[in-house]
Amino acid sequence: MPFADELLGLARDLAGRQSETLREVSLRRAVSTAYYALFHLLISEATLNWGRAELRPALGRLFEHGKMASASERMAGEINAYFKKKPPEGPELTIAKKLYIVVNTFVEAQQSRNAADYDTSRVWTQVDALDLIALVATAFESWNAIREEPVAQAYLVSLLGKDRARG
């Protein structure tokens, strides 16, 4: 996770710049970098499960932004359905809440990254960028708390593409 952590730190640095001439560019880059921090965190976690360390970079290149967003949206839907059942407090609910933070943040961060990179009509404020970075930081914390849980590991596998078990 060092690369993902470094990207998150870079996003914070970019959003904290005070130069008026670089402000908008820095904020856009900060938003984009925050997304890439989470993107690379999840890929790194998924590829760590691959036994052949020398092939992990090649495996990491198989992940696609759109497929990861779709998998995250599916997982968010599943977790929402679980929440609607009003489950009792306990470890399963805690894990679901933390995973929900991760999947929702991934979708939101990707949408924000697209806006930052391609929507020149949107004006970014420092608060906008710092809020997104804080969300990503919370997603990192949530992930670290649940990373070994079976549902979290299943989510990592789902990031590669369509869930064949569901059609």
| Residue at token pair 């710049």 | 17
Spacing of C-alpha 35 from chain mean position: 6
Residue 42 C-beta-side C-alpha neighbours within 13 Å: 32
Which of 44, 68, 37 lies closest to 138 in space, CA to CA?
Answer: 37
Please, where are the H alpha helices in 17-90? 23-47, 56-60, 65-84
Spacing of C-alpha 79 from chain mean position: 16
Q: What whole-number distance in Å separates Cα of residue 145 and Cα of residue 112?
A: 25
- pTM for this predicted structure: 0.93
Domain boundaries, the chain: 2-166
Per-residue pLDDT of the chain (167 residues; tens, 9 = 90+): 689 999 999 999 999 877 666 688 999 999 999 999 999 999 999 999 999 999 999 999 999 999 999 999 999 999 999 999 999 999 999 999 999 999 999 999 999 999 999 999 999 999 999 999 999 999 999 999 999 999 999 999 999 986 655 44
Q: What is the pLDDT of residue 167?
A: 44
